[in-house]
């Protein structure tokens, strides 16, 4: 039977990212995780913040189009479980936010982890994430895109 490993991160919609970053750091002690710096740029525009041990992670994104907050929950699994979950979601005809049925080509390659995003029947967002990137890249024949390092 398939099981979920643990919650990887919770995606939080905010209307003002700099204000949110300051609040989450001041109040909850969550600071930007430098490993996810590349996600801050388009098309992702996500700021991953974490506690010092990285056992709690929130993914902040600026929601420009909606007045209400929304989010999603991400679960982390092994590489093989990730592949099994894709097949399970496809078999159940689960869809992404844009209404496309989940399939192996729905995988998002984030460079050092892979994710598959979907919604429940009520529009609540979920992701399954795996950090077994090298294994998944070979298994799913992902096209690895290397971006040049950003100059500071």
Which residues span the domain enclosing 135?
71-139
- Cα-Cα-Cα-Cα dihedral sign, residues 98, 110, 54, 17: negative
pLDDT score of 32: 96
Please report, to the nearest 10 degrees, the dihedral formed by the alpha carbons of residues 115, 41, 65, 12 taken in order: 50
Q: How many domains does the chain have?
A: 2
Is residue 91 within 8 A of residue 151, CB to CB? The reply is: no
Cα atoms in the Cβ-side hemisphere of radius 13 Å centred on 66: 10
Is 55 in the same domain as 75? no
Is 42 in the same domain as 91? no
**DSSP-derived secondary structure letter, 98:** T
CATH code: domain of residue 128: 3.10.180.10
Is 19 in the same domain as 44? yes
Is 75 in the same domain as 58? no
Give pLDDT tens digits for 86-139.
Answer: 998 999 999 998 999 999 999 999 989 999 998 887 677 889 999 999 999 999
pLDDT score of 66: 53
pTM above 0.75, yes or no: no
Instruction: Provide the b/e sequence for 52-79 (b: ≥16 CB within 10 Å).
Output: eeeeebbbbbeeeeeeeeebbebbbbeb
- Spatial separation of the C-alpha atoms in residues 152 and 42, rounded to whole Å: 18
Confirm whether 125 is domain-assigned. Answer: yes
Give pLDDT tens digits for 35-84.
Answer: 999 888 877 789 999 999 988 898 988 876 654 456 678 889 999 999 99
Confirm whether 46 is domain-assigned. Answer: yes
Is residue 126 within 8 A of residue 119, CB to CB? The reply is: yes
Backbone angles phi, psi at 81, to 5 degrees: -65, -35
Beta strands in the chain (DSSP E): 6-14, 31-32, 46-50, 57-62, 71-76, 108-109, 114-119, 125-130
Is residue 126 within 8 A of residue 74, CB to CB? The reply is: yes
Confirm whether 147 is domain-assigned. Answer: no
């Amino acid at each position: 039977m398939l099981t979920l490993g643990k919650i990887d991160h919770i995606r939080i919609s905010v209307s003002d990212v700099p204000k949110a970053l300051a609040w989450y750091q001041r109040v909850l002690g969550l600071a930007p995780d430098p490993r996810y710096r590349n996600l801050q740029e388009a098309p992702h525009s996500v700021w991953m913040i974490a506690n010092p041990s990285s056992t709690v992670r929130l993914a902040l994104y600026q929601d420009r189009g909606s007045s209400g907050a929304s989010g999603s929950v991400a679960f982390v699994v092994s590489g093989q479980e990730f592949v099994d979950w894709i097949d399970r979601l496809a078999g159940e005809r689960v869809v992404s936010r844009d209404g496309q049925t989940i399939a192996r080509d729905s995988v998002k390659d984030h460079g050092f982890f892979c994710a598959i995003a979907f919604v429940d029947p009520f529009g609540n967002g979920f992701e399954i994430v795996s950090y077994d990137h090298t294994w998944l890249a070979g298994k799913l024949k992902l096209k690895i895109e290397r971006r040049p390092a950003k100059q500071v």
